[in-house]
Structure 1
């Protein structure tokens, strides 16, 4: 059965690659093109796990416009994968309140000091007296859209699985704040947490970095920046499907050019709003594989098979190994970009969050794993 699914998927991928350019020019009114939608649905039908496909179908049912074809203002108003998860939860008669989905973790909104002023943030705290290790977390959204609320599932899950405080920050976004504003905020947030962790039951000697997608890039880049600034070395870095390079012609970009909820054209749209010149694409903060990665703490990379960014994770793993940085990477079959925060309804997300928690705990307590 698996071999049959693989052969069908291969045929669809061949068709998808052949029709990518045609689909990219279709449906100029902002609606997803009929060709790309059909290919995405057919691919998901044979490649995505059943629970993952349920979320994809729920998202499609919310009728989002193709982000790469609309304005930033409209893109920020589109239904999100988190909205789709809530649709699935309600259909199952399950609660949608985060506190009920992840018991034992409380959250409160506050502000932290960024590079150019205060930034909105959310602090997730496990039950207990503490002090707890702390994870500085950066959400995804291509540095342009989304916020800590959209990525609540991932941050809250990390707090639960790692038994750690998580500080999720809304860094400045493009195009209002072009590259490298978000990277400056990431370093400033890490520094703020080091200085203030004790005030919210955190252990300032045990601070890690984490993020998803664009935020996964920020987590690694912040570790590099912290090293260069002579700050305390992070206990660990967790990068979930990170952006690690700027070519759109990797194996996974071609294979998943028309994937949902992230496709090749969307990434081009994000980067176009983020940068001001072609030269910035070569900057090692964006192209992590070209950065000096030596001396970084252990890194964990999580990837999804049905994701244009899967090859980014593999390339980053190789670059870290070449720099003698301890690194582990897991790529989860049958799931797409954004799956990590869907633990309430997607089994692979539960497994990935558990793995992330184990890796973070090992970073906080390295002797316990020896």
Structure 2
């Protein structure tokens, strides 16, 4: 399926400007790129990025981690809850180089409203100022902080979910592996992985088939990774979680891929690896969607379908940590 006309028309001006791409940018030029690509907080631009429902309160809190503190954006229903709410720990996308927790504000706020949950989105450190493993370590430590402090802000540490989109999905998978192998980490009820790049050492047909798309090109993906990883070995499972030696015992996964995405094939590939390890998986590839589509629901009406799929899956998974019976399908 081709991309919607509105996507092709509205994304062309951005791609025409070399100022709006990571390609050719030095480390000194990255902060300005972040400012240019930051999502709008108000005005007409929010017609594309979506708005926070009035029923959801949004604020910033501090996560005190070993030797550092991070900002965390918190989404909570305004209505008082009778019981502690589920906690969804989110990691935003942006190639480990750009972005912040407001990148998919609409999606996180909708999750909070529809699941009566607390969503906390972590403002982890970015490259090139903070190359690997800074983002990975922030993700692991912030997830454990969320579990340890959840009750202080109305959350239930026994009902926790990992969420990540793009680079954030890579971090979420890394957290799931680290907490499975550690003795002090949370036990996650589910992991929601949105267009996940989980094998940064591999070659996939989609990287060629969709090398040039409006939202992300293969060349841009490589440029982001150059800032984050430099010459590091990409087969390290903290960098490429799909290449971990053992995936048994990981939380049930909901994996969303987009048709027009250089990373499209990695989502289904990870789903197969998880299934082979006995992990329940629901995997959907959305036709006509591009990388990052859940950050711009105004461009991609299919975002609402993907949101509904995630919500329905989590409603089944949250009561128990190992709910079976998730099927695979392609929309």
TM-score by length of 2: 0.87
Larger Rg: 1
- Gap change, CA 1:156 and 1:295, over 3 Å in 2: same
Query: Is residue 129 from structure 1 mapped to residue 80 from structure 2 by the alignment?
Result: yes
Q: How does 1:198-347 map to 2 (within 5 A)?
A: 198-230=151-183, 231-247=185-201, 249-279=203-233, 281-291=234-244, 292-347=246-301
In terms of mean alpha carbon deviation, does 104-113 or 247-256 score higher?
Answer: 247-256
- Gap change, CA 1:116 and 1:240, over 3 Å in 2: farther
- Gap change, CA 1:233 and 1:270, over 3 Å in 2: same
**Cα offset for 1:303?**
0.8
Cα-to-partner distance string for 1:254-286 (whole Å, 9 max, x where unaligned): 01111122111111111111124342x010121
Q: Structure 1 residue aligned with 2:4, among 42, 46, 49?
A: 49
Contact 1:248 1:264 in 2 (8 A): no
Q: How does 1:87-236 map to 2 (within 5 A)?
A: 87=44, 98-99=51-52, 102-130=53-81, 131-230=84-183, 231-236=185-190
Count of residues in Structure 1 that have an aligned counterpart in Structure 2? 318
Structure 2: which 5+ runs fail to align?
Answer: 326-331
The 1-side partners of 2:43 and 2:26 are apart by: 25
- Gap change, CA 1:329 and 1:275, over 3 Å in 2: same
- Gap change, CA 1:83 and 1:187, over 3 Å in 2: same
Contact 1:143 1:274 in 2 (8 A): yes
**Cα offset for 1:104?**
1.5
- Gap change, CA 1:250 and 1:300, over 3 Å in 2: same
**Cα offset for 1:95?**
10
Structure 1: which 5+ runs fail to align?
Answer: 1-5, 7-46
What secondary structure is seen at the aligned counterpart in 2 of 1:68?
coil
The 2-side partners of 1:145 and 1:95 are apart by: 19
The 2-side partners of 1:285 and 1:214 are apart by: 12
**Cα offset for 1:114?**
3.4
Contact 1:140 1:215 in 2 (8 A): yes
- Gap change, CA 1:172 and 1:199, over 3 Å in 2: same
Q: Structure 2 residue aligned with 1:355, among 293, 298, 309?
A: 309
- What residue number does 1:80 align with? 37
**Cα offset for 1:153?**
2.7
The 2-side partners of 1:56 and 1:161 are apart by: 30
**Cα offset for 1:111?**
1.0
The 2-side partners of 1:112 and 1:322 are apart by: 36
**Cα offset for 1:68?**
1.5
The 2-side partners of 1:295 and 1:132 are apart by: 25
What secondary structure is seen at the aligned counterpart in 2 of 1:158?
helix
- What residue number does 2:329 align with? none
If each structure's helix is expressed as a fraction of its own residues, which one has the higher value?
1
TM-score by length of 1: 0.78
**Cα offset for 1:53?**
3.5
Query: Is residue 364 from structure 1 mapped to residue 318 from structure 2 by the alignment?
Result: yes
What secondary structure is seen at the aligned counterpart in 1 of 2:215?
coil
